[in-house]
Amino acid sequence: MIYGFGLGGISPWSLLIILVIVVVIFGTKRLRNAGGDLGGAVKNFKDSMKSGENEVTATKNTKKEAISDTKDDVIDAVSKVKDSTKS
């Protein structure tokens, strides 16, 4: 069996007819508004993903700082214990 050249066997002419029917039913103004709403939603999603990545990076940096501070505290405590045992 030979199918059309379009998506999943739908020919380009069929897609064009479907597009014309959708434009006639909904009108260009409603389709433009729907496209704008969809574009805004995608933009908000991308912005949220970027801010989420920034929060994760900030959290990792905070954890690294906390670990390095803890290491410094442990080293200080060990040196104090060694100094007190020498006396």
Q: What is the pLDDT along the chain (87 residues), one digit of tens a residue?
A: 455 555 567 788 888 999 999 989 989 888 889 989 999 999 999 988 888 777 777 777 776 666 766 666 666 666 766 666 665
CA gap 18, 26 in Å, rounded: 12
**DSSP code of 9?**
G
Determine the pLDDT at residue 1.
Answer: 43
**Residue 53: its pLDDT value, please?**
77
Q: What is the pLDDT of residue 7?
A: 57
CA distance 45 to 7: 27
* Joined tokens for residue 84: 């007190």
Question: Can you give the pTM of this predicted structure?
Answer: 0.43
**Helix, strand or coil for residue 70?**
helix
